[in-house]
Amino acid sequence: MCMCVYVYIYIHTHTHTHTPKSTTAMFFAEAGCLFLGFRTNISQARIICVQGKPNSICALKGSSVNLPCSHQHPTARNSWYTGHLTISKIMFSADETHVKYSMSAESNFTLTINNLTERDANFYCCIKTADRSKCQQSGIHLQVTELQVKVIPATEGQTVTLMCSSSCPLTEKPAAYIWYKNREFLYEDWSPWYQELLSSEEAVTYSCAVKGYEDLRAPEVSVDSITETCFSVTYAKGRMCSSQQTSVDESCSITYPREIHVQRTPAEHRGHIRLTCNSSCFLTDPLISFVWYENRKPTLMEEKQILVSSSDPDSLSCAVKGLEDVRSADVCVNDSCWMLNYVHSRICALEGSSVNMSSKYSHPDYKQIQSKCWYKVKRNAEEEAEQLTEDADHVEYDDSMKTQHILRLKKLKRDDSAEYRFTITTEYEEVKQSDFPGVTLIVTELRVKMSPSAVVTEGQRVTLTCSTSCPLTDNTNYIWYLNSRPLTLNQNKHLILDPVSREDAGRYSCAVKTNKDISSAPKTLTVQSITGTWTPAAAGVSAALLVLILLTVFWWIRKKRTSSQSPRGEISDTVQQYESFSAPLAEEEPNYSEICLSKNKTETIYSTIQPFQPQEQDHHPSDVVDLRNKTGSELNDQAVDT
């Protein structure tokens, strides 16, 4: 990989002292190359590349970091040095209780730095001699950052959104971001974007952390007030508070504008104009300072007003320090310059949907544009930006408008979450790509969350939320489904069941009204009652048991009736007994019956019973009993006698 550094030497040709130019050295981890250029009003930057290893590492303050030795075959002669303009050798302490630096040959001379602080941010190199040029070529630029909750105004009404951010992209990709509300765990997700849009809540604080580094939380913030033009934020401590304060551990409250723009006015000095970083929010807060950008690159100017030459060919923009995400549009000092603005800088879109990213640009009349394209900037600093080529199924370019270019992504996947930048190539092979952040896209799925849980007791208050990993950009109406049937009474992100009943149990899912075909996975709500748990599964089992019981009762009744209509004898091994024996009624005709007396299956004796004569002889009930009690042989003898 090629290691590059932009070194701009600004040769100021204007005479006014209030138009400062600066010498800046910047390392770009994404490019991985050393760009050495000299910028004047007439010369172009020149690029020099030297071979090297990944040159930038960003780590959290308070954590530990491992820096690999860049030498191909490191030996005991290699030593670690640190510094920029001058370098010094790192000394290792024998005190193992407070080890700042450690290194061993077993780890291939990897340098470990513990408990990082801002003072550790520097260049590090693993070389044999104290050669500053070699250190700059093969060294590693270590950046140390803290997490910060950024408060950014949203386009939807008087609301704001939160972002868990750092001053440089963390080299170790976060496993997840954890959000806290009033110091209590709220949720964790892969996206650094807070899931909800917020209104003002003075007594509510928010913080975030990276999973695995929960003890390195961002300072707490609270949103005090939000109006149409301004919003006020209180920070518990940290870098967002001005350096004018005596300690970074002190809290501060800052009022920010929701929008900002550059205002041009004539200046008292001939050949100059005055530029003011202005907004509809009247900013008198002493903690407020500004950032000015020239051709989308930050300068050292921090005043609200600056003077520039009216012949300056550059484009300028500004932002409030600490709220660089809300930047003004580029403006030209004269009538012809390079300008590049994005319609939306942050977009939250549903997985499976489509999204448009728009850039508006202008260029000097004497410049002829050869090509226009978009780049996908990877989160991993070691990966190069990916140029997007048109694909009918996924990527489309819309260049039908003269000064606007649109990137359309279709069938979005979670892997499409990234930063996208627009690039213009002129006839002189000059690439005008904005070093200022482009459009941040977060692709999210829909999920149903249930509070307090998915298993509740009848009579409780239950809140169902159609959750996303980021707040959807457009004003959104939702559709709720219960057991795949739409609920027409609710179009909000939250569905409240108060009080919940057994009829509310079932499988819930949600969708966005503009994308009905994209819905969440169903989630089951279980409602417990005093007698037990009521769920759709329990209802099905209960119905099945009821049907089984009814069938059993019906079968028993039918069997009993059949048994009474068709009596059968119960035969033992030696004796055959009769289950019933009844005399015919007097009104009926004489009836003859057959008695089968058998000692085994092969021997059967038949006997005819004398016809019943009620007038001549009455049978006493005891005769019947005696007859029933006779054995088979006795009955046989009696039948023979008859």
| Residues 549, 543: Cα–Cα separation, whole Å | 10
Looking at residue 216, what is its pLDDT?
A: 94
Q: Which residues pair with 514 in a beta bridge?
A: none
Looking at residue 627, what DSSP letter applies?
H
**What pLDDT band is residue 7 in, cutting at 50, 70 and 90?**
very low
Is the N-terminal amide bond of 219 cis, ω within 30° of 0?
no
Over residues 128-176, the pLDDT tens digits come to 888 777 787 778 999 999 999 999 998 777 889 999 999 888 988 899 9
What is the spatial distance between Cα 246 and Cα 241, in angstroms, rounded to a whole number?
10
Does the pLDDT value for residue 42 go beyond 70?
Answer: no
Q: 99: pLDDT confidence band, cut at 50, 70 and 90? A: confident
What's the Cα-to-Cα distance from 247 to each of 238, 240, 244, 419, 476, rounded to whole Å? 9, 12, 9, 35, 43
pLDDT of residue 457: 92
How far is 432 from 45, CA to CA, in rounded Å?
Answer: 12
Indicate whether 211 pLDDT > 90. yes
CA angle 517, 523, 524 (to 5 degrees): 135
Q: End-to-end alpha-carbon separation of the chain, Å?
A: 124
Residue 69 — very low, low, confident or very high, per pLDDT cuts 50/70/90? confident
CA-CA distance, 297 to 303, in Å (whole number)? 16
pLDDT at 247: 62
- The C-alpha atoms of residue 430 and residue 367 are separated, in whole angstroms, by 10
CA nearest to 517, candidates 481, 557, 473? 481
What confidence score (pLDDT) does residue 262 get?
Answer: 92
Work out the mean pLDDT of the chain and round it to a whole number.
75
Residue 328 or residue 617, greater confidence: 328
Q: Which two tokens stand for residue 84?
A: 């920029």
In this prediction, residue 571 has a pLDDT band, given cuts at 50, 70 and 90, of: very low
Looking from the CA of 201 toward its CB, the CA atoms found within 13 Å total 13
- What is d(CA 90, CA 627) in angstroms, rounded to the nearest whole number? 121
pTM value?
A: 0.68
Alpha-carbon distance 211 to 214, whole Å? 6
Listed ranges 13-17, 319-323, 583-587; the one with the highest mean pLDDT: 319-323
Confidence of residue 124 (pLDDT cuts 50, 70, 90): very high
| Tokens coding 426 | 């002129």
Lowest mean pLDDT among 200-214, 322-336, 477-491, 553-567: 553-567
> What average pLDDT does the segment 98-112 reach?
81
Mean pLDDT of the region 470-477: 76
pLDDT band at 26 (very low <50, low <70, confident <90, very high): very low
* Residue of higher predicted confidence among 609 and 330: 330
Strand, helix or coil for residue 297: strand
Stretch (H or E) spanning 342? strand 339-342
Looking at residue 566, its pLDDT comes to: 53
pLDDT, tens digit, for every residue of 372-430? 889 998 665 556 788 898 988 899 999 988 889 999 999 999 999 999 999 888 776 55
User: What is d(CA 6, CA 619) in angstroms, rounded to the nearest whole number?
Assistant: 130
Cβ burial of 579 (10 Å; 0-12, 13-18, 19+) is exposed
**DSSP for residue 73:** S
